[in-house]
Amino acid sequence: MSAPPPDAPPESAEDRSVRAVDPRSWPLALRVVVVTTLLSILAMLAVGAYLSSVIADGLYEQRRDRVLEEALEVRADLTETLTQLSGSTSTQQQDAINAFVQTSGGQGGGDRQEVALVPVETSGTVFPVASSDRTLFDEVDDEFAAAVAEQPDAISWRSIGRDDGEGAVSPALLVGTRVIVPGSGSYDLYLVYSLQEEQETLAFVQRVILGGGGVLLALVVGIAIVVARLVTTPLKHAAHAAERMAAGDLTSRVEVSGADELALVGESFNDMARSLEQKVDDLTELSRVQQRFVADVSHELRTPLTTIAMASSVLDTRREDLPVDLQRTVELLDAQVERFEVLLADLLEISRFDAGAVELEAHREDLDALVTRAVEDVRPLAGARGCVLDVRLSGVGMHAVVDARRVDRILRNLLTNAIEHGAGHPVMVRTGSDEEAVAVVVQDHGRGISPEDASRVFDRFWRADPSRARTIGGTGLGLSISVEDARLHHGWLQAWGQEGEGAVFRVTLPRRPGAELVRSPLRLERSFDRQEADADVAPTTTGEIPVGPDQLPDLEDPTTEGDHR
């Protein structure tokens, strides 16, 4: 039987794009590689940043200590030079100071340093300002000059950035100290040491770390891919084996190699598959034995039942000649023999379905005519229940290639079931069709069924209320046989209801056996308000059949069914 289409709408392109972005929908191997790569990148960034910071601090501190040592040497040389010039002329002293400044400053290379000598307004001989680079004074602000003046015996320093002449700023150290020479005056000595070489060293180290991190990341990704394949390949094999088992191949197994956890999973899967195969074989054999038993018992009971039925018939024909108490006994005997015959017939029919020995004898039929015939057959029963059969036939387009005997059995089972459970309320019968299918709906207004019961109502020997006494017999196999008849046509037989309101049964058959159904011409879920239900369907032919002593009001003016489920 073709399953009804799902209620959920088809997946849109936007939904597919969102699902593709959702990492939870990615393959396991891809997620392993992506997560490993991201974590490796974070770890490498953290390690690289730490190493770069440590190396930068080390280079800076090493260069700073060397600069301070050189500054002490320059101050000592300047003090010695100023001391030697105490007896010289001012011109000689000025030339010597300029020569000292030019010699000490302007050294090339990465250790380039600049020197500036600024006289302090004190007693003694004071020389003019001397500098190897006049831009050096741009770096000396009042705060730094005050710090140098406050600590005449110490060396002050700070980090600065200087224009390298190409528009870039290079790091440097500014060092200042005060030199006091008796007889020659006091001077502030300023020196600038370039850190360009250390900066280039740090940049080189960072490039090495970055390049090494890239190589390491590539290796980690490769390792992650290999590990992911090692983990997911056995899982894929297990998944394929499970899919084959789900498709019915119970001999499917997983190839197991090694003795690790994945091998243990494979062995457990194979053990489960073997156990499942054995249990399915046992259940299949049990079902086969059960079917054979039912068929054999049914056939074996035919002969004694025939004899009993003949004897019961003889007694029934002479019932008037028997005493009154025996007449009731003969009547009960005849009813139970008839019920027993129905039970045997149902059991034989079920055994044929189980054995796959049923065939469809399909011919072109008018479903409205079959419904009318079935209604006429159950009219006496409806009359005994005081039940009105509200029949609304479509009247057009109801021809289909069906097995009339099986369709008639479906309809009679549905009608009998509705009359039995309808508690004397009207039973509504509707027919409808579209280009692909024809359908019949039978609705009662009795005790109803719950959604849970609707899913089990076609099970064999199942009853919603086992304690409730039945008044017209029954084997509990009628709806089971009916659903098998519908499946034989590749159709649907479905149930729906509400407790305390009633139940609705709908049979949908394709116009030709074997065609796939995608929808039904009639709606299954519908209102239990009889007046509202009238407004739900508009047939072209009305077959109102009031039966029973109490005539109920007619249901008029239905409208056309427009919702297809």
CB neighbours of 328 closer than 8 A, spacing ≥ 6? Answer: none
Distances in whole angstroms, Cα of residue 11 to Cα of each of 18, 23, 518, 519 = 11, 18, 18, 19
> Based on the domain organization, do 40 and 163 belong to the same domain?
yes
CB neighbours of 484 closer than 8 A, spacing ≥ 6? Answer: 350, 353, 358
Q: How many domains does the chain have?
A: 3
Strands (E) located in 349-436: 363-366, 389-393, 399-402, 427-433
Q: What are the backbone angles phi and psi of residue 191, rounded to the nearest 5°?
A: -135, 140
* Residue 155, in any domain of the structure: yes
Angstrom distance (rounded) from CA 391 to CA 415: 11
CATH number of the domain enclosing 438: 3.30.565.10
> Based on the domain organization, do 430 and 340 belong to the same domain?
no
* Residue 394, in any domain of the structure: yes
> Based on the domain organization, do 464 and 417 belong to the same domain?
yes
* Residue 13, in any domain of the structure: no
**Among candidate residues 245, 276, 303, the one where a domain is terminated:** 245
* Residue 17, in any domain of the structure: no
Domain that holds residue 138: 22-245
Which helix (H) or strand (E) covers residue 501, if one does? none
> Based on the domain organization, do 89 and 26 belong to the same domain?
yes
DSSP state of 447: S
> Based on the domain organization, do 72 and 218 belong to the same domain?
yes
Angstrom distance (rounded) from CA 379 to CA 429: 13
What does 509-536 look like in DSSP terms, one character per residue? Answer: EESSTTPPP---SS-SS----HHHHHTT
Residue type, 411: L
> Based on the domain organization, do 82 and 209 belong to the same domain?
yes
* Residue 9, in any domain of the structure: no
CATH number of the domain enclosing 321: 1.10.287.130
Given this model, what pLDDT does residue 279 score?
87
* Residue 560, in any domain of the structure: no
Q: 167 in the Ramachandran plot: left (φ > 0), alpha (ψ -120 to 50) or beta?
A: left
**Among candidate residues 289, 324, 353, the one where a domain is terminated:** 353
pTM, to two decimals = 0.48
Given this model, what pLDDT does residue 530 score?
62
Kindly calculate the radius of gyration of the chain based on its CA atoms and give it in whole angstroms: 52
> Based on the domain organization, do 457 and 329 belong to the same domain?
no
CB neighbours of 154 closer than 8 A, spacing ≥ 6? Answer: 177
Angstrom distance (rounded) from CA 193 to CA 176: 11
> Based on the domain organization, do 423 and 287 belong to the same domain?
no
* Residue 66, in any domain of the structure: yes
According to DSSP, the residues that pair with 237 across neighbouring strands are none
pLDDT along the chain (565 residues), means of 10: 43 50 73 88 92 92 90 86 74 78 63 75 57 75 85 85 75 87 77 87 91 91 87 81 83 78 80 86 78 70 78 80 80 78 72 72 91 90 87 89 90 90 87 92 88 81 57 65 88 89 92 86 82 48 36 31 35
> Based on the domain organization, do 240 and 304 belong to the same domain?
no
> Based on the domain organization, do 378 and 341 belong to the same domain?
no
Given this model, what pLDDT does residue 348 score?
72
Angstrom distance (rounded) from CA 134 to CA 114: 9
Asked if 195 contacts 86 with a C-beta cutoff of 8 angstroms, the reply is no
DSSP state of 53: H
Given this model, what pLDDT does residue 106 score?
60
> Based on the domain organization, do 196 and 50 belong to the same domain?
yes
Please tell me whether residue 450 adopts helix, strand or coil conformation: coil
CATH number of the domain enclosing 147: 3.30.450.20
